[in-house]
Structure 1
Amino acid sequence: MTTYLVPLVLIGVLTSAGVYLLLERNLTRMLLGLLLISNAINLLILNAGGPSGNPPVRGRTSGTETTTADPLAQAMILTAIVITMGVAAFVLALTYRSYRINTIEEVGNDPEDTRVSQLSGKEDDEQEDRLVPDAARDTDLPDELDALPGYEGSR
C-alpha cells in the first residue's frame, strides 16, 4: 500500500491549527478549532481506509478498478460528520448563551477555582498532615460521607 505525503501533511496542519484555536479563550475560535480537528480526523480515516475502488455493491464496477472500496471508512466518516455537527451546534448554543448573559465572548477564570487554588497553596503543610489515615477510624463500615441515605449502621 502506498502512503502519500500530501494528505498526511494536510492532516498535521489541520490538527495543529485546530489545537492552537482550541486553546484560545474565545469561544468562536474554540468552535473553529473543534471543526478543524474533526475535519483532520475525517481525512485521517479516509486516508487509512485504503485506495478507492469499485462500489461495495455486488455486481457493480467502476471503470477499470479491480479492488472493492472499503465501505467502513466511509460510514465512519458520515457518522463523525453528524456527531461533529451536533457538538458544533451545542457549542454554538453555549457561545450564544454566554454572550447574551455576559455580553463578552471570552472565557474568564472561574473565581471559585482561583480561590481554591490560592487556598491550597497556603495550606499545603496542613493538608499533608490531614492526609495521614487515622487507624482508629479504619473500619469496614462506610464513613459518614460514604453512607447512603437511610443507612442505620450494621443490621
Structure 2
Amino acid sequence: MTTRTGRPPAGRRSWLRDNSELGVCVLLLALGVLVLTDALAMDVDVARRGPVGPRTVPVAVGAGLLVVAALLAVDVLRGGRGRAETGEDVDLSEPADRRTVLLLTGVFLGAAVLIEPLGFPAAGALLFWGAAFALGSRRTDRDPLVAAVLSLVTYAVFDKLLGVPLPGGPLMGVL
C-alpha cells in the first residue's frame, strides 16, 4: 500500500523505523540457516570420526544463530531497543583511521597469498608482525621474535596436536 507519491504511509514507515533491529534478526536467521545447511551437507564418515566430528561446531554455531535471532526478534517486538554507543573511548565525531584499516587489510591479504609458497609458520609470523606494526607497535627488537614464536606455536598446535594440516613450507623441511 502506497500513497500517491509512491511512498509507504507514514504509519508503516514509522513502524519499520522503530523496529529496524528486525533487520539484524533477518540477517542472523539467514546466516544461521546457511551455516546449518552447509554443515549438514558435509560428507563425513561418522563411524571413523566418532560422535564429535567436523559437523559439531558448525551445527552448534548455526543453532546458536537461530536462537539468538529468535530471542532478539521477540525482544524487539516487545519494545526492546538497542542503545547508542556511549563508550568513553569511542569518539563518533572522529573519522575512521583509514591508514590502519588499509595496513591491516594489506597484511591479511599478503599472508593469504604467501601461506602456500612460504608455509604457515613464515606467513603467520609476517601476519602477526604486520598486525602489531599496523596497530602501532614499533618494537623492532621484540615484535619479530614474538610473531615467530606465536606462529610456530600455532602451527604446532593445529598441525601436530589437533591434526589440522597446515602448509609447512620450505622451512619445515629443515626443522
User: Structures share a fold, TM > 0.5?
Assistant: no
TM-score by length of 1: 0.28
Question: TM-score when scaled to structure 2?
Answer: 0.26
More helix, by proportion: 2
* Higher-Rg member (1/2): 1
